[in-house]
Amino acid sequence: MKQHPIINTLNVLGAAAENECYYLNAGGCAVYANLVAKELDKLGIPVHGIVATYEPKDLNKVRQGVTNANKKREWNANGLDFSHVGVEFKLGNRWYQYDSKGVHPRKSWLNREWWKVCKGHLSLVELDGIANEAAGWNDDFNRRTEIPKLKRLTKQFFKEVVK
């Protein structure tokens, strides 16, 4: 069965991103998710951020104690650990989850089986806010050198989809 071009693009993009950015999933996952979410949104595809962690929380409940939902430290202070961040998007009547490891139908975990997906989701504004906050992420991901690479790759791959 032929896959949707977006799924093919994302799967190839994920492999390229991991090849270009060694520590992508060690401090850069939210940045990558944010860049991909923006491109999917431009195409009119329903998309939002998802969080996976060892001890999943209900993001809607955590959000109630958060003063500024665009700040990672606010979420952390209210008990949410951002072990991993990805996106969830809808094609047709089906929801998919995505990170650099590939596109999968919606499931209970993301990237690693012990990272359970939290109930609820991050809006695109919230995802953008936490992705752009440098503090509190793994420093192995060099934001200064890696973010420009990810921006270039993401734009390049999505440009091919809209041709």
Mean pLDDT value of segment 1-6: 78
Mean pLDDT value of segment 9-28: 94
Quote the mean pLDDT of the chain.
93
- pLDDT, position 2: 67
| pLDDT tens per residue across span 45-75 | 999 999 999 999 999 999 999 999 888 999 9
| Total number of domains in the chain | 1
* Residues 85, 51 contacting (CB under 8 angstroms): yes
Residue 158 CB partners (closer than 8 Å, separation 6+): 9, 39, 42, 43
DSSP 15: H
Is the pLDDT at 79 greater than 90? The verdict is yes
The rounded distance, in Å, linking the Cα atoms of 66 and 71 is: 9
Sheet with 84-91: strands ordered across: 102-105, 94-99, 84-91, 47-53, 112-117, 109-110
* Residues 42, 154 contacting (CB under 8 angstroms): no
Is the pLDDT at 162 greater than 80? The verdict is no
pLDDT bin (cut points 50, 70, 90) of residue 8 is very high
Q: What would you measure as the largest C-alpha separation in the chain, in angstroms?
A: 47
pLDDT bin (cut points 50, 70, 90) of residue 113 is confident
Domain that holds residue 36: 5-161
- pLDDT, position 29: 96
* Residues 46, 89 contacting (CB under 8 angstroms): yes
Is the pLDDT at 87 greater than 80? The verdict is yes
Mean pLDDT value of segment 104-114: 89
Mark out the alpha helices in 21-142 (DSSP H runs): 29-42, 59-63, 72-77, 124-131
- pLDDT, position 1: 53
pLDDT bin (cut points 50, 70, 90) of residue 114 is confident
- pLDDT, position 18: 95
